[in-house]
Structure formats: structure tokens, C-alpha cells
Amino acid sequence: MSDVSGPLPVGEAIASAHTAITRIVAVVNGGVDDDAPTPCMQWTVRDLARHLEAISGAYVLWSSAALGGRLGDLRTGSDLAAYNDEMLQRLPDHGTSRHVTTFSQLASDHLRIVEAFPDSPMLRVPSTGVVWTVGDHAGVAALEWHLHAWDLSRAAGTVHVPDATPLAMAWSATIGPAVDAPLDARGTSNGATWDAVLRASGRSP
């Protein structure tokens, strides 16, 4: 596996997240069955599109709260699943394409906040006591968007293999320690690194 030691620079996280956003929009605009299953949470494409809008909106709120000095707690496990379900129940169904368009706008808004205020403390990790800054969390956003781009690509019958080194760096610096899920290195190629990220996230490459 490529060297993934150290935190992911904010600029690289922002660039990677933008690439993932573009990929998600392209997959949906390219035509995919709304009711097709995805590898994520037993959600359909429509479910995942709604989740993308909801969580990107949450990222804008959390990062904005951080600018006001409010620190949140990271949700994991069953708490995160319950939070995701609650957001889906609250969000009206406007159709996959519209949800993804709104996601793209909100996710881009989030990255503008990241670029302007990367050092603001944002989330406390209960399992470790570590506090992520807005910039640290940008790596989490890049991970989430690329993982969901992979989910949607699988549903569409296509393949998504991003530049994996920055994503592996983000995982090792943030999510991995937070949920005790280190990367399982089985090779040195970009594909092998991406497969390790997928496995760490609970997916099957």
C-alpha cells in the first residue's frame, strides 16, 4: 500500500471531495434505476440520493456551528444508523435527480466553509477524546462522497476507483481510530489501497 501516514492536507481533501461530488452527479445523470439496490445500508439508489442531500446539509450545519464555537459529538454505530434513519424520515421525496442536485450544491457549500475556516474545532470523537477540526472533517467528507460514488456506480453497473492514497490517509487519521477499523493492506497499487478502504468501511470490493 502507498504511504498513508500523517493527516490529509486540507487542500487535498477538498480536491478529492470535489472529484467525488462530480462523479456522483455523473452517475445519476448517466441513468440508473431509482429502485436499484446499492451496497450501502440496503438502501436503493433513491434512498442513497436522499441520504446524500440530508448528510451534506448536516455537514453545512455542523461546520457552521463550529464557526460559532459549538462543538458536536461524532455519532457512530447504532447512534449513526438511527440518525440517518431520522433524517430520511424527515426529508420529503423529491426524486433522485433533484436530491443529487441539491446534494451537489450543499456539499460544495460545505467545502467553501472548509476552505475558509479549516482550523475551527468541529467534532469530538467520544471513543478517543480527539477533536476534529473543520479541515480534519473534510477528509471524512471526501471519504463519504467517494464511498457513495462507489455504491451508486455499483448500482449502475459501472466501476469507481478514485485516487486512493488521500482517502487512505483520511481514513487512517480520522474514521479508522474513531471506530477501531484500521486499513488491511494487501498490496501497493492504487486499486489495492482503494479495496482496503472499501473493506474498512464494511464493503466488499
Overall pTM surpassing 0.85 (yes/no):
yes
For 127-168, write each residue's pLDDT tens digit. 999 999 999 999 999 999 999 999 999 999 999 999 999 999
Is residue 37 helix, strand or coil?
strand
131's enclosing H/E stretch is strand 131-133
For 52-80, write each residue's pLDDT tens digit. 999 999 999 999 999 999 999 999 999 99
Name the CATH superfamily for 10-200.
dinb family like domain (1.20.120.450)
73's enclosing H/E stretch is strand 72-73
Give the C-alpha separation, 64 to 32, whole Å.
Answer: 33
Task: List all residues 6 or more positions away from 89 whose beta carbon is below 8 Å from its beta carbon.
Answer: none
